[in-house]
Amino acid sequence: MNRPFRDRGIVVRALAGLVAGVAAGGAMSAVYQTYGARRDRRRFPPPGRMVDIGGRRIHLWTAGTGPPAVVVVPGLGEPGLNWAALAPRLAVESSVVLYDRAGLGWSDPSPWAGPALAAARDLRRALDEAGILPPYVLVGHSAGGNVVRLFTAESPGTVAAVVLVDSSHPEQLRLLHGTRTALARQMLRSRLTPLGLRRLAFDAGWSDRAQRDAEARRLPPELLSTRIAFDLSDRHRRTELRETAAAITVNPVQVRRRAPTLGAIPLTVVSSSPDEPPATDVKATADHHRFQAVWSPLQADLVRLSSDAVHVVAEHAGHHIHRDRPELVAGVILDHVRRIRAEAGKGGLTGTGA
């Protein structure tokens, strides 16, 4: 046999072995992921109310009693669980609802998951079906701010106050150059990550990445395992990808067209500190200052949404202000609760506690 043909045969066999190995690894990952997801559903039942909104269920994690109901809409790809540490502070004075959007946390997936408008309408239906009546104090963090604005635009008579916590702005993609490309790359990396193998690496003790990611969210210790289960969930990842895709396409258009103003609804905009660099690294500090040169004016612009608005800059806090300064965020929200009750007078509030 001629040497070129022999060498070609070796290459073909090597490539065939590589393809077979990749296929076997993919199959093993899928099988282990299916097993792990079923196990997690048994281990971590929903702590709140599963509300049927017409063939699928939305999870509302409720605490406290009495109106007005504080309704929290978390950021991009985040379940209500991420605000669990703050809920007890709020529940002392009012009812609290942590909202799991479709496909996140314990909520059922939906073919319409992703766009902020669909999430706003799901929330309204879930609150109605659960008997959690207005008035509402709506709290939106990051991309959750878009959901809050759209909810308010469609049901303005139900909303007594709005708190935007380092909220998204419909013009941020246009002004923050490279953001759309960075998010697209992030989506691709996430999509190409075999979750089953990542789950196996965590279960076997080969990697502590999932543990570190969960701990970074500063959750109550008893909820860390639940958060890890979400991070290793195919359903959660699919929804996060869809929300990211919507955030760089349809959501800015929806907000500009449907929710250009809050009118006279009381509003507090809570923004991260522009002078708080994320690290001592020179490049990271420079990147932070470039980002804040755009982000801070956008946050100030959100104050113009209402004729009754206050802007609070959270010193020593990054984007996740509810983690860095929980006492500040809780105080802002409860100020609205007290103001609403004072204005309504005794017996003036008609909402039902959660």
- Whose CA is closest to 77, among 58, 102, 97? 102
> Which domains, and CATH codes, for the chain?
51-173+235-344 (3.40.50.1820)
Length of the chain: 354
Per-residue pLDDT, 202: 63
Per-residue pLDDT, 263: 95
Per-residue pLDDT, 84: 94
Q: Which residues pair with 71 in a beta bridge?
A: 97, 138
Least confident of 2-11, 119-128, 294-303: 2-11
Per-residue pLDDT, 20: 43
Angle value at C-alpha 91, between 51 and 345, nearest 5 degrees: 100
Helix (H) or strand (E) holding 344: helix 326-344
- Dist. CA 217–CA 320, nearest whole Å: 9
Give all strands (DSSP E) within the chain, no chain letters.
Answer: 49-52, 57-63, 69-73, 96-99, 136-141, 159-165, 267-272, 309-314
Per-residue pLDDT, 16: 47
Q: Which residues pair with 154 in a beta bridge?
A: none
Which residues are CB-contacts of 227 (< 8 A; sequence separation ≥ 6)? Answer: 81, 82, 214, 217, 219
**% of the chain surpassing 90 pLDDT:** 55
Structure tokens at 131: 């008997």
Cα dist from 103 to 90, 110, 321, whole Å: 26, 7, 24
- Whose CA is closest to 332, among 203, 161, 199, 181? 161
The residue behind tokens 């300064």 is 325
Structure tokens at 72: 């929290």
Q: Give the pLDDT mean for 23-30.
A: 48
User: Could you tell me which residue, 101 or 17, shows the higher pLDDT?
Assistant: 101
Q: HSE, CB side, 13 Å, CA atoms: give it for residue 50.
A: 13
185 DSSP 8-state letter: H
Per-residue pLDDT, 188: 62
**What pLDDT digit, counting tens, does each position of 273-308 carry?**
887 655 567 777 777 778 888 899 999 999 999 999
Per-residue pLDDT, 18: 44
Rounded to two decimals, the pTM is: 0.85
Per-residue pLDDT, 22: 40
Per-residue pLDDT, 21: 42
